[in-house]
Chains A and B, each alone.
Chain A
């Protein structure tokens, strides 16, 4: 069966190549990635449930913080009633508060552990953008829309991934910091003031959340396009690669 590995399992690997198992994602990264997924989902949902309360009597007091508009012109205030209703958000404020102030700990601990692991293990070298990452990211995006030929296979992550994954870690840190500024605006008022005050901190917290939603959307689309071999790597840790490609493990050893 000459074309066995051309099945769905490894359709991103050229035929007749000698294969090997690449240790792609360390166990710790896989755990923290999958813990973060439902926890971030709960944080977003509970945050939106809490935030809904302020639009409870929007007919009297239209919301100023989550307004999209310029000067006195308002395009929309987030979110329209139909969106609230469709997502079954209204009247779950106390569930929202209860979940938010419990899962914030898991989100924070998991996120800090993730950054610590990246630092200690050296995995950050695969993740942090390099000098050429921006140019590379533009090429990746162009080739995605068939405006440019496919790029050569990257190491662990290409430039676009390096920028996106590093940004999302920074966004996580931003959510923790803006969240603390909203949670303790009196006791931690220096932080709140530094962020532009209470209402600005809320604005920042909200738009970081919208940023997570946008990241999630793009991420899932990219994972679906990249295929099973890549997705499985985040669960089993292994990816099937041609033996001719440089090995991540060899590179990992070179750091020590």
Chain B
């Protein structure tokens, strides 16, 4: 084939190809313009979400996502599943994490549990017209191993000599930690029960070896012992609402009010939710929440409050320390 024969054919092909390329360019222009718009819209939506007004340091869209996930979990799982348990030989030495509400050692004899919202509370011998009048006493000496002890020494400067430092539960300055004071703390003059450890230990003792999970990511198999919160609630049942229903929530707080947690009543009634008096086969240490702490295998560790001073049944969603700092109120596992 000579060049002259080939040329017109090649021109035809090129002309056809030019049409194909033009069509391609049209598609390309349209789709890229659309893609750019979609990208801008997506970036805008994300920025809007992140810079929305915050609820507990979490922009509202993210906070709502937490709440919707919680609703879905409640609906799907019904909160009844039992966490796996392990042989006691698997139990580990409990790791120390989090000192909020535990800055000073509490004198065990000065401990009482302020229990509020019990049905027919006046019929109990432990009834007190103002549970917040109870005085907790703290060790006078500063803990040497505590890196935060310098700060403690300042806050305890009014404690003189070796006298234990006494604080009236309802009157001392409360909520001195990062999240500030609780909105659910008891008002001075709140009636209720003042329970001693003996009252609590009257309930049947339960032991449990479960995996404790921290939101930070670590987990440990822990040997717990104490009483089931379900038994506790049966012994001291919440006052029913006018319609006969139980209040929906339970609120707990450390004696100094620095750490506080809210729960669904149903979670407290879970058969593995324990009011813990022993860990790893030994009485609770101060740093693990002596004399009474919570274990709930359906919740992350930040919901398993140490050194419980207050338990209050309530129908108002209780304030929660870590929720204020951006974490999920529900925290269900």
Contact = CB atoms under 8 A, between A and B. Distances in A.
Interface of A: 1-2, 4-5, 9-10, 16-21, 34, 38, 50-51, 53-54, 56, 61, 63, 65, 93-95, 97-99, 101-102, 105, 183-189, 192-193, 198-199, 202, 232, 235-238, 240
Interface in B286-333: 297-298, 325-328, 332-333
Contact of B58 (A20, A34, A56, A98): A98
Contact of A1 (B14, B77, B215): B14
Given A94-B325, A184-B77, A193 B24 contact: no
Contacts of B23: 21
Contacts of A193: 84
Given A4-B17, A4-B21, A53-B215, A189 B66 contact: no
Given A18-B17, A21-B23, A240-B24, A202 B217 contact: yes
Interface residues of B, number: 52
B229 to A, nearest CB: 16
B298 A94 contact: no
B32 A235 contact: yes
A183 B300 CA distance: 10
B81 A235 contact: no
A102 B61 CA distance: 9
A10 to B, nearest CB: 8
B197 interface: no
Contact of A54 (B62, B217, B333): B217
11 contacts: A34-B35, A53-B216, A98-B58, A98-B65, A102-B62, A185-B211, A186-B82, A186-B83, A198-B211, A235-B32, A237-B27
Nearest to A3: B14
B7 to A, nearest CB: 10
Contact of B81 (A63, A98, A105, A186): A186
A5 B298 contact: no
Given A38-B42, A98-B326, A236 B217 contact: no
Contacts of A63: 218
Interface in B144-168: none
Given A94-B57, A187-B77, A199 B219 contact: yes
Given A186-B81, A202-B217, A19 B17 contact: yes
A248 B139 CA distance: 80
A51 B218 CA distance: 10
A102 B83 contact: no
Contacts of B172: none
Interface string B47-85: 000100000011101110110010001001101011110
B37 interface: no
B77 A101 contact: no
A189 B84 contact: yes
Given A50-B217, A101-B65, A240-B21, A186 B297 contact: yes
A235 B37 CA distance: 13
B47 to A, nearest CB: 13
A17 B65 CA distance: 55
B28 A232 contact: yes
Contacts of B58: 94, 98
A5 B16 CA distance: 12
A19 B27 contact: no
B328 to A, nearest CB: 7
Contacts of B28: 232, 235-236, 238
Contact of A99 (B62, B77, B215, B217): B62
B24 A189 contact: no
A61 B96 CA distance: 10
Given A21-B20, A34-B35, A184-B77, A97 B327 contact: yes
Contacts of B79: 187
